[in-house]
């Protein structure tokens, strides 16, 4: 595939100005982002914004209560309308932002993306612009792919000397960093880059009964799981399959164990082939029979739709999207942490021929690079459930690398466009030595021979 714009130094004065981050969204992931960043010193200020200003104020209040006035002085709460690019531009300029960090639903990507560009600042997100299925062959041919809208605007970002780092969460994000590391250091040739995500998380109600409560935004989960999954093969390019296709049992580390995983539409498959050479790229998610059954029922009833329908209410007819109703009816993922137990694992399973200089040089190698997040630990340390915390960790690390000049670039880039080694080193380095204290794993899946 064509190589997107190469990482290089932006040309204007934002590189010498202290980093000022406009955080758009104070929901589960945005709140966790602020809590993680509160322990770091690489930025001058973070403006926490949300359509509901009270949510942004609660995030800042938590930081003040946990870390004191000196740390909280770097945080400001404000209201923003993420659906209005002019408002994103206005708030960014009003607060002198150098970077816009998008932490809201992917349906707002186009407006925040445009608002950041118009403000003349850099941009990061954790999920990319949405796809649209092929109108006549949705389960065989791609239509508008995830991120197509953003990559189409790459010339505008390059011309403005600005960077848009897209897909910098955990999946996509950390998994893409792992893939770049494997390509650079572990493999000479790669047969498959297979992102595999699984967990053994359980949520219980106040009586101790297990309940259905997704640990991440149900709006986003429906979008990912019911859209046609995308697969990349070097000789075919990108193509689609039916939802929940190609089930396989994958064994996850650190006690999670075997989980059945299925194909799901996800950004890694659209990002990795732009920079990395692999014969095949896939994303499979460990959903479980119950979750798949719920998603199929929502689809059957039309409750996955984002098109507003007219509904009668006590105050008269209103128009509402069925998917928004489903999201409103389920527990907020940001609130379920105290009732959740277990671990979640994100990683990339890589197959191919081992790199020169390794014990697998020239021989078949199969490895899983991963990071595990334990809900008990994230709740105790940050008051955030493990899925949103693991997602929020990675853009904080990326922003620190950008602030210190270790990473730099312009145009629209994915995590694969940057050297993975400094990211993983900073991530794993002990907190006492200035790192994040988050060890990552490398598990060989085939014995040496």
- The pLDDT-based confidence of 449 (bands split at 50, 70, 90) is very low
Per DSSP, the three-state class of 51 is coil
- The pLDDT-based confidence of 306 (bands split at 50, 70, 90) is confident
Burial of 154 (0-12, 13-18, 19+ CB in 10 A): middle
State yes or no: pLDDT of 448 exceeds 60.
Answer: no
The C-alpha atoms of residue 201 and residue 152 are separated, in whole angstroms, by: 38
Per DSSP, the three-state class of 240 is strand
Is the separation of the CB atoms in 189 and 353 below 8 Å? yes
Q: What is the pLDDT of residue 202?
A: 85
State yes or no: pLDDT of 407 exceeds 80.
Answer: yes
**pLDDT tens digits, 262-289:** 999 999 999 999 999 999 999 999 877 7
- Alpha-carbon torsion, ordered 112, 116, 119, 120, to 10 deg: -170
- Predicted structure pTM score: 0.90
State yes or no: pLDDT of 238 exceeds 80.
Answer: yes
> Token digits for 312?
């009668």
Helix residue spans in 196-236 (DSSP H): 218-226
**Structural domains present in the chain:** 13-170+388-433 (3.40.50.720), 174-384 (3.30.360.10)
State yes or no: pLDDT of 14 exceeds 80.
Answer: no
Is the separation of the CB atoms in 276 and 190 below 8 Å? yes
Q: What is the pLDDT of residue 204?
A: 78
Lowest mean pLDDT among 107-116, 194-203, 247-256, 315-324: 315-324
The C-alpha atoms of residue 26 and residue 29 are separated, in whole angstroms, by: 7
DSSP 335: G
State yes or no: pLDDT of 330 exceeds 80.
Answer: no
Q: For residue 153, which of 108, 115, 180 has the smallest C-alpha distance?
A: 115
Sequence-ordered list of residues with C-beta below 8 angstroms from that of 145, at least 6 positions apart, any chain: 131, 230, 238, 270
Mean pLDDT of the chain: 91
The C-alpha atoms of residue 395 and residue 398 are separated, in whole angstroms, by: 5
Q: What is the pLDDT of residue 275?
A: 98
- The pLDDT-based confidence of 244 (bands split at 50, 70, 90) is confident
The C-alpha atoms of residue 21 and residue 31 are separated, in whole angstroms, by: 14
Q: What is the pLDDT of residue 400?
A: 98
């Amino acid at each position: 595939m064509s190589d997107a714009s190469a990482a290089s130094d932006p040309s204007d004065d934002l590189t010498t100005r202290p980093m000022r981050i406009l955080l758009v969204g104070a929901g589960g992931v945005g709140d966790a982002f602020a809590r993680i960043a509160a322990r770091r010193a690489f930025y001058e200020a973070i403006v926490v914004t949300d359509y509901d200003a009270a949510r942004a104020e609660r995030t800042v209040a938590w930081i003040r209560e946990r870390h004191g006035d000196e740390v909280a002085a770097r945080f400001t709460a404000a209201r923003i309308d993420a659906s209005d690019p002019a408002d994103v531009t206005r708030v960014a300029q009003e607060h002198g932002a150098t970077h816009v960090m998008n932490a809201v639903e992917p349906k707002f990507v186009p407006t925040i993306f445009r608002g950041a560009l118009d403000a003349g600042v850099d941009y990061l997100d954790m999920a990319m612009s949405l796809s649209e299925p092929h109108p006549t062959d949705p389960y065989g041919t791609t239509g508008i792919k995830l991120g197509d809208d953003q990559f189409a605007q790459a010339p505008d970002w390059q011309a403005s000397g600005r960077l848009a780092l897209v897909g910098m969460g955990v999946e996509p994000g950390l998994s893409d960093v792992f893939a770049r590391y494997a390509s650079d250091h572990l493999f000479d040739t790669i047969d498959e880059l297979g992102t595999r995500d699984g967990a053994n998380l359980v949520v219980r109600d106040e009586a101790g009964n297990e309940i259905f409560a997704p640990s991440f935004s149900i709006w986003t989960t429906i979008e990912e799981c019911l859209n046609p999954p995308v697969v990349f093969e070097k000789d075919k390019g990108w193509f689609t399959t039916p939802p929940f296709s190609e089930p396989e049992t994958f064994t996850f580390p650190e006690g999670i164990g075997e989980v059945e995983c299925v194909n799901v539409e996800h950004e890694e498959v659209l990002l990795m082939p732009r920079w990395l050479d692999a014969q095949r790229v896939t994303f499979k998610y460990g959903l479980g029979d119950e979750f798949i059954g719920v998603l199929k029922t929502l689809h059957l009833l039309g409750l996955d739709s984002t098109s507003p329908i007219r509904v009668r209410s006590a105050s008269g007819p209103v128009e509402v999207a069925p998917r928004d109703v489903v999201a409103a009816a389920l527990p907020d993922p940001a609130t379920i942490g105290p009732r959740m137990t277990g671990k979640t694992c994100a990683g990339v399973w890589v197959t191919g021929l081992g790199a020169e200089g390794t014990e697998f040089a020239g021989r078949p190698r199969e490895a899983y690079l991963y990071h595990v997040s334990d809900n008990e630990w994230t709740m105790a340390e940050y008051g955030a459930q493990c899925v949103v915390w693991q997602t929020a960790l990675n853009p904080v690390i990326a922003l620190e690398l950008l602030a210190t000049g270790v990473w730099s670039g312009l145009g629209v880039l994915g995590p694969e466009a940057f050297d993975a080694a400094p990211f993983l080193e900073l991530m794993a380095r002990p907190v006492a030595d200035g790192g994040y204290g988050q060890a990552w794993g490398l598990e060989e899946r085939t014995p040496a021979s």
